[in-house]
Amino acid sequence: MEIGKIYDVAFSTGRYETEYERGVKCIKKTPQSYRVERADGTKRLIKQDFIIELKEVVDAEDDRVSS
């Protein structure tokens, strides 16, 4: 994860539990975890070792070609 970019993340929270966060922004990186901010302004800590799938969200406006 890179600070300032938006991601969809799947991560494990227990032995048989998986949680998903869509459209979260990475705001802080530590050696063991990431601090992410949701669209509603709440924050959450995600451990690096528990991330199952990480997908960067590409903004639709960036894909447009201006004329």
Residue 18 neighbours by CB under 8 Å, 6+ apart: 10, 11, 12, 52
pTM: 0.78
Which architecture, in CATH terms, is 6-58?
Roll (2.30)
Alpha carbon separation from 4 to 7, 17, 21, 55, 56 (Å, rounded) = 10, 27, 16, 14, 11
Can you give the residue ranges of every domain in the chain? 6-58
Mark out the alpha helices in 1-67 (DSSP H runs): 60-63
pLDDT per position in the chain (67 positions), as tens? 999 999 999 999 988 999 999 999 999 999 999 999 999 999 999 999 999 999 999 874 444 344 4
Closest CA to 26 of 5, 57, 45, 55: 5
